[in-house]
């Protein structure tokens, strides 16, 4: 009897079970795009009088080496450690840097950096200590990008006129209407005075320094364009000062939230030369 019942259920299953093909939902315009690489911005707050900041720069460089072009960094000289020494050749402070540190909050200790301008669960502000950077960068890289950025530029080495165009494309629905674009100019490997644990060094190489911005310090509004057409294009023109080494300069552009939340949605970097 038991064998008869088992045979009945086996026969029944042959007629009732059929393979159901997987349902594939096509991507809608502006939907997630697996071909777009997620990149992360780390803004390192530093100063020539900050004895602990060189250790922070080493950590940033290690993270850039680990993640290659998926981690983009900028050094912002702002705050109480930023004023130059009497024997400094450069003053790395900028009005935009002062605006950014006031926008993101001043560090309570150094080294300090902000990762994608995001307030992470369990943190009380945007500024993060050195031991926290790697974990939050990995967390951000695991997320799907909400927008894609493309950077194009022309540069005349004789006139030193730079023309930059940033195209932003929406990949997923906007988290809010207040979306902004910030465009920075950074210069790498500027040799000048820096306080270190071994004393003041005159031949220290300052890395990825914020030099100026092509937008307002808190970004230019592009949310309306993204909402209406899913695309935005902004162009800027700038003449590099004579004391900037153009071969060491780069453009850093990022789309981000404005208002109460400031999360960076995507970032891109391109060399001027």
CB atoms < 10 A from the CB of 137, how many? 21
Is 136 contained in some domain? yes
**What CA–CA distance (Å, rounded) separates 47 from 52?**
10
Question: pLDDT value at position 230?
Answer: 97
**What CA–CA distance (Å, rounded) separates 184 from 269?**
9
Is 30 contained in some domain? no
Question: pLDDT value at position 33?
Answer: 58
Domain count, the chain: 1
Nearest 5°: the CA angle 123, 126, 131 is 70
**What would the 3-class secondary structure string for 77-98 be?**
ECCCCCCCCCCCCCCCCCHHHH
pLDDT string in tens for the chain (273-residue length): 444 333 433 343 333 333 333 332 233 333 445 689 999 999 999 999 999 999 999 999 999 999 999 999 999 999 999 999 999 999 999 999 999 999 999 999 999 999 999 999 999 999 999 999 999 999 999 999 999 999 999 999 999 999 999 999 999 999 999 999 999 999 999 999 999 999 999 999 999 999 999 999 999 999 999 999 999 999 999 999 999 999 999 999 999 999 999 999 999 999 999
Which residue, among 180, 270, 245, 191, has the nearest Cα to 217 in the 3D structure? Answer: 180
**What CA–CA distance (Å, rounded) separates 71 from 113?**
13
Which residue, among 145, 83, 73, 79, has the nearest Cα to 114 in the 3D structure? Answer: 73
- What CATH number is associated with residue 105? 2.60.40.10
* pTM: predicted TM-score of the whole model, two decimal places: 0.87
Is 119 contained in some domain? yes
- Write the DSSP symbol of residue 157: T
Is 75 contained in some domain? yes
**What CA–CA distance (Å, rounded) separates 257 from 150?**
18
Domain interval for residue 66 = 36-271
Is 26 contained in some domain? no
Q: Produce one character per residue of 180-214: b if its CB has 16 or more CB atoms within 10 Å, e if not.
A: bbbbbbbbbebebbbbeeeeeeeebebbbbbbbbb
Q: What are phi and psi of 226, to 5 degrees?
A: -65, -35
Is 29 contained in some domain? no
Question: pLDDT value at position 35?
Answer: 84
Q: Are 154 and 272 in contact (CB under 8 A)?
A: no
Question: pLDDT value at position 34?
Answer: 61
Is 229 contained in some domain? yes
Is 121 contained in some domain? yes
């Amino acid at each position: 009897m038991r064998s008869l019942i088992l045979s009945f259920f086996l026969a029944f299953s042959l007629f009732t079970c059929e393979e159901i093909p997987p349902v594939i939902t096509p991507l809608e315009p502006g939907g997630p795009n697996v071909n777009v690489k997620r990149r992360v911005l780390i803004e390192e707050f530093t100063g020539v009088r900050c004895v602990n900041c060189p250790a922070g720069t080493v950590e940033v460089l290690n993270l850039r080496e680990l993640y290659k072009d998926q981690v983009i960094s900028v050094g912002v000289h702002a705050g109480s450690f930023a004023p130059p020494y009497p024997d400094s050749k450069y003053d790395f402070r900028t009005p935009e840097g002062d605006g950014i540190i006031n926008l993101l909050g001043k560090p309570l200790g150094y080294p300090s950096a902000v990762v994608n301008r995001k307030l992470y669960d369990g943190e009380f502000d945007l500024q993060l200590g050195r031991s926290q950077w790697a974990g939050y960068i990995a967390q951000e890289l695991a997320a799907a990008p909400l927008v894609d950025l493309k950077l194009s530029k022309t540069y005349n080495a004789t006139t030193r006129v730079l023309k930059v165009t940033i195209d932003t494309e929406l990949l997923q629905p906007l988290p809010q209407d207040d979306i902004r674009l910030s465009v920075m100019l950074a210069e790498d490997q500027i040799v000048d005075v820096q306080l270190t644990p071994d004393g003041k060094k005159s031949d220290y190489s300052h890395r990825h320094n914020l030099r100026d911005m092509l937008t307002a310090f808190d970004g230019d509004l592009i949310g309306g364009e993204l909402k209406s057409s899913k695309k935005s294009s902004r162009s800027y023109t700038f003449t590099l000062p004579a004391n900037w080494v153009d071969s060491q300069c780069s453009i850093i552009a990022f789309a981000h939230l404005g208002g109460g939340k400031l999360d960076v949605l995507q970032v891109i970097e391109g060399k001027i030369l």
